[in-house]
Amino acid sequence: MAGSWTPDGFILDLDGTVYAGSRPIDGAAETIGYLRSRGKRVVFLSNRGNISRRMCRERLAAMGIPCEAEDIILTSSVVARYLREHEPDARVWVLGEQGLRDELALHGVRFAVRPQDADRLVVTLHETLTYAELNDAFRAVRAGARIIATNRDKTFPGEDGESIDVGAVLAALEHATGVAADVVVGKPSPAMARAALDRLGLPPERCLIVGDSPGSDIALGKRAGIRTALVLSGSVTREEAEAMAPAERPDWMLDSLADLRRLLEEMER
Amino acid sequence: MAGSWTPDGFILDLDGTVYAGSRPIDGAAETIGYLRSRGKRVVFLSNRGNISRRMCRERLAAMGIPCEAEDIILTSSVVARYLREHEPDARVWVLGEQGLRDELALHGVRFAVRPQDADRLVVTLHETLTYAELNDAFRAVRAGARIIATNRDKTFPGEDGESIDVGAVLAALEHATGVAADVVVGKPSPAMARAALDRLGLPPERCLIVGDSPGSDIALGKRAGIRTALVLSGSVTREEAEAMAPAERPDWMLDSLADLRRLLEEMER
């Protein structure tokens, strides 16, 4: 499809592509090891905002996928960078977990003491979300805080099946307050593409993004000029993928990350 | 406004009208005592679906407002009656608390063992909602359960301020699944008006509904032909109330339930 082109840099989605919950996708570690043995550069790009890079690095290491923290680009760090660069004085209320707070603190973001004192509400997924936390977030926005969200995905492939994601939590807050999130940093936003390409040190046309989400991973590639491979190990089935509009279709379709080696070998043939 | 008309039956909203959280509205008990001493009939009508009538009756008694369980009409009992009458074979998954389960069980409603086995998801507010519960509800709907909700209010006046209500939880589920609730029993639905009038044993034109919510209480009155009084002790301010479209305005406006005695005396003058 892309002639004799082969990628030098790989941008790999995590949930549904490298792992599903705490379980690695079969062959993921071997494939990533193979890419590295061929001198390819690899970064990981996830819309998850409830974990820190340190936590994510430990999880990958336990799956036999060693990497540096800087090879992992999460919305938690991208949202922290956004706030530091664009709104350094904002006092922030967090609807999220310790992983997000750690990343924000690491970047010098200021925290509000009470919801009603916040200039910004940062929203991400967390699987221990409670009504009391949702209500605090609601009160922050009612009192004037604007909403910044790590992503707007509706669902993600969790450990025990497809699970509800940030998009639904945002819908709840937006419905109750009438205020829409004005910044969403996650894929397919250009902020995520830029962070990945910066780390790879490569132009978009020399990279391939591999992910399971048409709306996040494939859309990011289309917008940023990065070629795309959709894996069927996560959010969508082959039937759903084949029903996509031509403009939204990936350049390649793979059953899982384990097939990436074969694809690369075919490209080089 | 209504000439020499005086009501014989009173339909009183609870949250924001009789109490705010666990705190009674000043003068509520005295006013209700006065109505009864004048031979007026009183029922309580609430969109709350997380409590049973028994729990609500105990709360009112503690505030000096004794009543029978049948004088309390909650969405939990109306949703239970709806299911028993219209869908007696449905297996139900509950996003709610024990109070709702108690009412459903009392009406002989069947429960599903797993979310994916449910024909119906019943949604109500509960202040101990967790992500895991929200996710189970999401999975019930993804597997085919249709949504019945106790109400669609965006917020309610809670103990420590305005709080997020069922509407927001529904928005989250509807956003994640693409499936809208097909039955919402709460005010302003005719099912609630009918339940209140049945208990009072009076036609709508002999009753007055008193509540703090234009969208729930006043709208129910307008639809059912029941005269309306808006109290300003809950969700809306006088400025907001005066900005309402003429067709949506209440017949009377009171600072709180405590002013109902004065209104009745004026009517009888």
**Residue that terminates a domain, selected from A147, A165, A184:** A184
CA distance B145 to B100: 18
Mean pLDDT, rounded, for A105-111: 95
> CB–CB of B51/B269 below 8 Å?
no
Decide if B130 is inside a domain. yes
Residues B109-160: tens digit of each pLDDT: 999 999 999 999 999 988 899 999 999 999 999 999 999 999 988 888 777 8
Which of B135, B156, B184 is the endpoint of a domain?
A: B184
Number of folded domains in chain B? Answer: 2
User: Is B250 a domain residue?
Assistant: yes
Residues B175 and B117 placed together within one structural domain of the fold: yes
Judge if A197 and A216 occupy the same domain: yes
| Mean confidence (pLDDT) of chain B | 93
pLDDT 10s digits, A70-79 = 999 999 989 9
Q: Which residues in chain B have their CB less than 8 angstroms from residue A163's CB? A: 135, 138
Interchain contact, A138 vs B168, CB within 8 Å: yes
Q: What's B18's domain CATH number?
A: 3.40.50.1000
Domain boundary among B184, B219, B244: B184
Residues B94 and B178 in one domain: yes
Q: Is residue B65 part of a domain?
A: no
Q: Same domain for A226 and A250?
A: yes
B224-235 pLDDT, tens digit per residue, is 999 999 999 988
pLDDT at B51: 78
User: Which pLDDT score is estimated for B1?
Assistant: 47
Query: Are A160 and A222 part of one and the same domain?
Result: no
Note whether B96 and B171 are same-domain residues.
yes
Number of C-beta neighbours around residue A22 at 10 A? 10
Of all residues in chain A, the one with the smallest CA distance to B127 is A131
Whether residues B176 and B209 share a domain: the answer is no
What pLDDT does residue B50 have? 79
Any idea how long chain B is? 269
Residue A90 and residue A126 in one domain = yes
Tell me what the mean pLDDT of segment B250-258 comes to: 97
List B148's β-bridge partners, or say none. Answer: B122, B183
Question: Which residue in chain B has the smallest CA separation from A172?
Answer: B168
Residues A213 and A253 in one domain: yes
- Nearest Cα of chain B lies from the Cα of A203 at a distance, in angstroms, of 35
Q: Are residues A95 and A193 in the same domain?
A: no
Residues B163 and B135 reside in one and the same domain: yes
pLDDT tens digits along B77-90: 899 999 999 999 99
Q: A175 vs chain B: nearest CA distance in angstroms?
A: 6
DSSP string, B32-76: HHHHHHTT-EEEEEE---SS-HHHHHHHHHHTT----GGGEEEHH
pLDDT confidence of residue B3: 58
What is the residue range of A238's domain?
9-47+188-268
For residue B93, the model assigns a pLDDT of 98
Q: What is the pTM of this model?
A: 0.82
Q: Give the A:B interface size as CB pairs under 8 Å.
A: 84
A24 lies in some domain: yes
What is the arithmetic mean of pLDDT over A238-250? 91
Question: Has residue A67 been placed in a domain?
Answer: no
**Which chain A residues touch B124 with a CB distance below 8 Å?**
none
d(CA B258, CA B31): 6
Q: What is the DSSP letter of B218?
A: I
Which residues is B209 bridged to in the sheet? B11, B228
Q: Are B262 and B17 in contact (CB under 8 A)?
A: no
Residue A1 has pLDDT above 80, yes or no: no
Query: Which of A123, A125, A135 to mutate against chain B (most B CBs within 10 Å)?
Result: A135
In this prediction, residues A82-96 reach a mean pLDDT of: 96
From A132, A174, A176, residue closest to B155, measured CB to CB: A176
